[in-house]
A and B are shown apart, each in its own frame.
Chain A
Amino acid sequence: SQTIHQWPATLVQPVGSPLSLECTVEGTSNPNLYWYRQAAGRGLQLLFYSVGIGQISSEVPQNLSASRPQDRQFILSSKKLLLSDSGFYLCAWSRTGNNQPQHFGDGTRLSIL
C-alpha cells in the first residue's frame, strides 16, 4: 500500500529565517505531488504541483519554492519567512492520469514569530 510521510509535524520559526519541509511517498512510482497551505478558517490553497522529477508548477507567486530531487520526494523551501507564511502545510500525492484522488500527509503546522 502507499504511504506518505511529511515532517516535521510542528515548526516554530522566526521571521526572516529559512524553511525546509520534506515529503516522501512510498509504495508507488512516478506520483503527482502537491503542496497546499491551509490558513486558519480558510480553504486549501494549492501552492505547487509536480508531475515528475525536476518539474515544478507554481500556482501562487510568493516567497516559497519547491523542488523534486527524486521521484518520490518533494521539498518546500523558503529563504526568508514572512509572518503571512504561517499556516498548515499539506503534502499530497496522486497517481498519474485523470480523475485520480489526492491523498494527504499528516501536515506541518508552521508558526512564524
Chain B
Amino acid sequence: QKEVEQNSGPLSVPEGAIASLNCTYSDRGSQSFFWYRQYSGKSPELIMFIYSNGDKEDGRFTAQLNKASQYVSLLIRDSQPSDSATYLCAATLTQGGSEKLVFGKGMKLTVNP
C-alpha cells in the first residue's frame, strides 16, 4: 500500500513565526508532490507543487523536496491567523498506466494572534 504520512498535529504557532509542515512518502516512483490547504468545512485548495529536489518558493510559502529521504516539507514564513487550516500533502502514484494522487491525512495548523 503506497502511503503518504503526515504528523497529524495539531501544530500551533504564534503570528509572525515560521510554521513547518512535514510529509514522507513510501513510493520511490512518485514524481510530483503537492500541498493543499483546507479551511474547515471547505474543499482543498492547491497552494504549492514541487517536482525537483531542493526548494521552491512562492511568496511566504517554501516547498522542500528530498527524494533520497522521501521527504517533503512546507514552510510558511510570517504566519498569519488566516493561515490557520488543515494542510494536506499529496504525492503522485502511477498504477496501470494511470496517474493518481495519494493524500496524507493532513495536519491542522493554528496561528495565534
Contacts and interface: CB of A to CB of B under 8 A. Distances in A.
B98 A42 contact: no
B69 interface: no
A105 interface: yes
Nearest to A6: B43
A19 interface: no
Interface residues of A, number: 20
A49 to B, nearest CB: 6
B99 A98 contact: yes
Nearest to B41: A109
A57 B100 CA distance: 11
Given A98-B92, A99-B32, A99-B51, A44 B100 contact: no
A57 B98 CA distance: 10
A51 B97 CA distance: 11
Interface string B82-108: 000000101010100011110111100
Contact of A102 (B51, B101, B106): B101
Interface in B25-60: 31-32, 34, 41-46, 49, 51
A90 B34 contact: no
Interface residues of B, number: 23
A99 B42 CA distance: 24
Contacts of A99: 31-32, 51, 92, 99
A103 B103 contact: no
A73 B90 CA distance: 25
Given A43-B106, A90-B44, 19 more contacts: A34-B100, A42-B105, A43-B103, A43-B105, A44-B88, A51-B98, A98-B32, A98-B92, A99-B32, A99-B92, A99-B99, A101-B32, A101-B46, A102-B34, A102-B90, A102-B101, A104-B45, A106-B42, A107-B43
30 contacts: A43-B88, A43-B103, A43-B104, A44-B44, A44-B88, A44-B103, A46-B100, A46-B101, A49-B98, A49-B100, A57-B98, A90-B44, A98-B31, A98-B92, A98-B94, A99-B31, A99-B32, A99-B51, A99-B92, A100-B99, A101-B34, A101-B46, A101-B49, A102-B101, A104-B43, A104-B45, A106-B43, A107-B42, A107-B43, A109-B41
